[in-house]
Amino acid sequence: MKTRTKILAVIMALIIISAVVSSLYLSGVIPTKAKTPKSTTTLLELPSGQPVHWQIEVSGDFQQQKNQTLSDISKMPLTEVIANNATYIGVTLFQFCNETGIGWDAGPLTVIGANGQSAALNIFEAWNSSYYPYSSYTPDLYKYQVMVLAFVKNGQWMTSITGGPVTLVAPMLPGSDQIEQVTEIQSAPWTVSITGNVANPLTISGENLTDFQSQTIRGEFVPGDVPIESIRTSNWTGIPILDALQVAKASPNAQQVTIIAIDGYTQVFTLQQLSAGKMMIGYQENGTALPLSAGGPFRVFAPTPDYRWGEYWVKFIKQIVVS
């Protein structure tokens, strides 16, 4: 009888816990699985007629500069953004970079207008504004911060009178970064600098990776912000951080390194941890360049059992400071 009573008590407790958790999810106290904003191509319509003749020159971080006409740009996946009490339709800056072949290791972006005005941005800002994982209960927030190369305003093709034919709309940035009559977008490589207590400061980018000896290690990665099914075992390729420190001629008295991401996230590691974790400046997973959505183009890889956790795998790394 006592055993039956205990079983009933356990069942009732589980029912109560399940009900509480469900109510928290529905109330938003516990967020639901993050969703990546999807293209709204099927939901948006362009005005009748053809856009005016206009083109944007794309140059920098690839072999040959390209020109994209407004007619071509308007055929890319479309997105809507709301700013200054107006509704714009265009292409996200990040999507435009992808469509025009800007390199996997792109970093700084310079958007230039016909009058010489320019905005100094970077590919991380463009990606973050487009793909930040908004929760399911705040989907409209996307419309108020995504960076868009807009060519339709309030249902009409933009003209030079309304800031077009193409204007950079970046609601979360200062007014000086809202570039009208965009004529050129320049890109430059993403760099990782090694500075601090070193005799030979280094700058690593996709352009000089072959100057360093890379290694590939198969190991498990356990992300800290995704479902358990996303744990994966892959071949991780990168430059061993200790090897890079040797090339940089780190001081024999060096004790630790601080790894800094472009978004300000930092982690401090001792030299012993770098060795135990076989930590690398990583740039490929299973032979494929690491995309921004996975923390690329450069992130820390630490493919050993004790350091397989996401907190150690710093994403979007920009600087390594030796001290």
pLDDT of residue 172: 85
Please check whether residue 291 is in contact with residue 104, taking contact to mean a CB–CB distance below 8 angstroms. yes
pLDDT of residue 247: 97
Class assignment of domain 55-189?
alpha beta
**pLDDT for 15:** 44
For position 188, what pLDDT does the model report?
A: 94
Is CATH 3.40.50.1970 the classification given to domain 191-322?
no
Regions in the chain scoring below 70 on pLDDT:
1-43, 61-65, 132-144, 225-229
Predicted confidence at residue 70, as pLDDT, reads 95
> What is the pLDDT at residue 301?
98
Secondary structure string (H, E, C) spanning the chain: CHHHHHHHHHHHHHHHHHHHHHHHHHHCCCCCCCECCCCCCCCCCCCCCCCCCCEEEEECCCCCCEEEEHHHHCCCCCEEEEECCEEEEEEEHHHHHHHCCCCCCEEEEEEEECCCCEEEEEHHHHHHHHHCCECCCCHHHHHHCCCEEEEEECCEECCHHHCCCCEEECCCCCHHHCCCCEEEEEEEECEEEEEECECCCEEEECCCHHHCCCEEEEEEEECCCCCHHHCEEEEEEEEEHHHHHHHCCECCCCCEEEEEECCCCEEEEEHHHHHHCCCEEEEEECCEECCHHHCCCCEEECCCHHHCEHHHCCCCEEEEEEC
| pLDDT value, residue 66 | 83
Two domains, one topology: 55-189 and 191-322: yes
Looking from the CA of 39 toward its CB, the CA atoms found within 13 Å total 13
The domain ranges of the chain are 55-189, 191-322
Decide: 230 and 223 in contact? Cβ < 8 Å: yes
